[in-house]
Structure 1
Amino acid sequence: MKSTKNSLETITHIIHHYFIWIIIASYFIAAVLPGFGIWIREVDLGGIVLLQNKIDFALPPLMLALLLFNAGLGVKTQELSQLVRKPLVLFSGLSGNLVTPLAFIIGLSFIMRFWHNSEEAQHILVGLALVASMPIAGASTAWSQNANGNIALSLGLVLLSTLLSPLLTPLVLHAVGLVTTGDYSEDLHEIASDGVISFLGIWVILPSLLGILAHRLIGEHRLTDAKSHIKLVNYGILLLLNYSNASLSLPKALSQPDIDFLAILLVIVVALCAATFATGYLLAQIFCTKRQDMASLMFGLGMNNNGTGLVLVSVALADHPQVMLPIILYNLVQHLMASFVDFTLFQRGIKLKPV
């Protein structure tokens, strides 16, 4: 039994070390062999009517719910009690996670009016709106832990942004809907008004809370023994979600590459990602926080739950699959940026100067 546990831990460690490259490989597979990924999206598992709303059961949202349930399992409620000591830092981080990308997108909307293809401009703006409107990624806690960050602050940013998402997500989508045009603007307003609150409540908040409750009922000791199994399940779900989402948009993007569009998209995504990480650094300097808090702020503000955004796009914006490209690219860039920040600022022990 012990050798099996050690083997699972070794496998989990290897996957964690190379996971970004595994995700990149899944994108290439989706581009050339998209069939299975499209099938995953089309499986119909029926549905139910709840409070006069029909809830359709499909594999992507169910996988997302399981992923967030497992994230809730990993939350140690006693760690969250430490957050009352630094409420200003926590709420400033949440504000930065909302304001920075929203200001970036609104500013970008004026610049993109000069882009030669209005459809491409709308794809970028709507895709980034979905990135900016999503809660902070649970993966940020893993990066923060790897950099010896403040885990309580990381968990607080993830949980509060998730719990507040029914309020903050429509706010961002409505705001970007005002600077987009035509069908894209209508879709953003429609999603913000109707679909997103029920989607987040059922597939994001409910499984997260159930996971936290399950943690309390099962107990820390039993969960510690199952940690490697849970991590392997999470890696498998993340891989399938990324592959399935990429299967809708990457085949066309790579078979008929639009070089100028892909180039400007890459520049914009890297700029937005750098701005969000920089906001975390600036907030740490403003509040004169310790290095641990700086790590949690930078990774929290720099990483959003793009898996949720991609599933939402596939459900609500199936007629605009190219909107997925900015989200897919941002998902890749945020992990590469996190790796760069972790290595240059935290692992190498560079002394950071105050602003």
Structure 2
Amino acid sequence: MMQVVEAVQRRLLALMIVCYVLAAVVPRPGQFLRTVALGPGSPITLPMVLLAVMVATAGLGVRLRDLRAVAGKPLRLVSGVAANALLPVAFLPVAALLLRAWPDAGEVECLAVGLLLVLAMPIAGGAASWGQHAGGNVSLVVAMVVGSTLLSPVTVPWGLTVSAALVGPAGAGSLDDTARLDGLAGSAGAGVFAMALIMTPCLAGIIARAVLGERRVARAAPVVKLVNLVNILLLCYLNAAGALGQALSRPDPDFLVLAVGAAGALCCVSFLAGRWISRWTRCDTRDGISLTFATGMNNTSAAAVLAASWFAHRPQVLLPILAYSLLQKLAAGLFGRPATPSAKGFT
């Protein structure tokens, strides 16, 4: 089974592209499954369950000793978590000003909301595996992911509130109406979402590993990894089905180009910001790689599930989220090289 898991992991990006194509060609099963709830009238949908499972399995992969290992480097840990939380506040107003020349205000609003949701999310769990592959400090990036995830009930609503104000009518002007975002950032919105579907599953996974012990977790690891990979691909298909099916039935090539271009630009800027911060904090090579990935990668699956819940009437919001999801993995391969020629961090 381990060989199957490794083969899927090596081809994960290609398989995600296959899921996108499948969602574009055969969207109806995904559109139906997106609406499946746990019970009559239940607000919990299948994508929410899949997201919680994905975060829980990520938590199951966290070793407490990895978290203790970075206790002596609090500046780098705080820098990564803070940089990720401040991304929407720093980048979105600039992007909004650049987009004011776009002739379709409705498209700009969908784009701004989609990118806002992505950048407000915590660090993606995949940053740990990408950072490890690039030779980064695994303990540091895992601690950043966990820290960002545990703080998400606070940082996500804060990021949405401040960013919506900055790009709203009183700011850059990309959003004509921020009422829905204000509601999302309120007491029954993003904070509850982050606590129920991001923070709590992550804690449950961490606690489960501590209770079960390393030996039992190691025996179950191949099955858990395979389930998680299937879960990621299914969630990818379901999220894509909500946007790509309509995008092809009502083609809008200019908005598609705009969404991909804007998502790609912000994605690269996020990675570059992480690399700059790693130099500013004088990280060695391994810590610099970890900080770069933690700053550059956001939990796009959570953003897509949140968009499907609150912006189902505007499926175009999902397009920049899907574009960012794919492009940040491509950027991870590009930026997975040392930020400086020094190799003193490697062992």
Distance 2:217 2:163 in 1: 41
Of the candidates 306, 317, 322, which is equivalent to residue 316 of structure 2? 322
More helix as a share of residues: 1
What amino acid is the match of 2:203? L
Amino acid at match of 1:83: V
Q: Which residue of 2 aligns with 1:221?
A: 215
AA aligned to 2:76 is V
Percent of aligned pairs sharing the same letter:
36
Q: Does structure 1 conserve the Cα–Cα contact (< 8 Å) formed by 2:184 and 2:190?
A: yes
- 1:228-247 to structure 2, matched below 5 A, reads 228-247=222-241
Residue 341 (structure 2) pairs with residue 351 (structure 1): yes
Corresponding residue SS for 2:100: helix
Quickly say closer, same or farther: Cα 1:180–1:199, change in 2 above 3 A: same
Partner of 2:178: 185
Shift of 1:57: 2.7
d(CA) in 1 for partners of 2:240, 2:177: 21
Alignment partner, residue 68 of structure 1: 55
In structure 1, how many angstroms separate the alpha carbons of the residues matched to 2:206 and 2:56? 8
Tell me, in whole angstroms, the C-alpha distance in 1 between the residues paired with 2:64 and 2:229.
24
- Partner of 1:285: helix, strand, or coil? helix
Q: Which residue of 2 aligns with 1:283?
A: 277
**TM-score when scaled to structure 2?**
0.92
Q: Deviations along 1:285-337, whole A, 9 cap, x unmatched? A: 11221111011111111110111111111112111111011100000000011
2:87 equivalent in structure 1: 100
Report the Cα offset of residue 96 of structure 1: 1.6
Instruction: For residue 184 of structure 1, report the CA deviation from its aligned partner.
Output: 4.8
1:36 alignment counterpart? 29
Map residues 203-214 of structure 1 onto 2, 5 A cutoff: 203-214=197-208
Question: What SS does the corresponding residue of 1:237 show, helix, strand or coil?
Answer: helix
Equivalent position of 1:122 in the other structure: 109
Amino acid across the alignment from 1:351 = P
Q: Which amino acid in 2 is paired with 1:25? A: V
* Structure 1: 5+ residue stretches without partners: 1-7, 48-53
Backbone CA RMSD of aligned residues:
1.8
CA–CA separation in structure 2 for the residues paired with 1:26 and 1:136: 23
| 3-state SS of 1:281 partner | helix
**CA offsets, 1:109-159, max 9 Å, x none?**
122222100001001110011001101000000011112211111111111
Check the 8 A contact 2:102/2:108 in 1, yes or no. Answer: yes
Equivalent residue runs for 1:41-60 within 5 Å:
41-46=34-39, 56-60=43-47
Q: How far does residue 261 in structure 1 lie from its aligned partner after superposition? A: 1.8
Deviations 1:71-121 (A, max 9, x none): 111110011112211101111112221233432111111222221000010
CA–CA distance in 2 between the matches of 1:102 and 1:350?
28
Confirm or deny that 1:10 pairs with 2:3.
Answer: yes
Structure 1 residue 60, shift from structure 2 partner = 0.9
Instruction: Give the distance between the partners of 1:190 and 1:214, measured in 2 at CA.
Output: 34
Q: Unaligned regions of 5+ residues in structure 2, if any?
A: 170-174
Counterparts of 1:201 and 1:95, CA distance in 2: 19
Deviation (angstroms), 1:265: 2.0
SS of equivalent to 1:351: coil
Checking the alignment, whether the CA contact within 8 Å between 2:87 and 2:270 is kept in structure 1 is yes
Equivalent position of 2:98 in the other structure: 111
Residues 1:350 and 1:280: Cα distance change in structure 2 (over 3 Å): closer
Which amino acid in the other structure matches residue 77 of structure 2? L
Tell me the amino acid that sits aligned with residue 118 of structure 1: A
Q: Residue in 1 aligned with 2:172?
A: none
In structure 1, distance between residues paired with 2:254 and 2:35: 32
Q: Does 1:312 align with 2:306?
A: yes
How many pairs does the alignment contain?
336
State how far apart, in whole Å, the 2-side matches of 1:94 and 1:110 are: 26
CA contact (8 A) 2:34 2:47 kept: yes
Q: Answer whether contact 1:242 1:307 (CA < 8 A) is retained.
A: yes
Contact 1:101–1:272, Cα closer than 8 Å, also in 2: no
Amino acid aligned to 2:341:
K
Change (3 A) 1:227 1:127: same
Q: Which amino acid aligns with 1:108?
A: A
Describe how 1:142-221 pairs up with structure 2 within 5 A: 142-178=129-165, 179-180=167-168, 184-193=177-186, 194-221=188-215
Aligned equivalent of 1:88, options 75, 80, 91 = 75
Contact 2:124 2:300 survives alignment (8 Å) = yes
**Letter of the structure 2 residue corresponding to residue 296 of structure 1:** S
Is 1:341 matched up with 2:335?
yes
Distance in 1 (CA, whole Å) between partners of 2:99 and 2:78 is 32
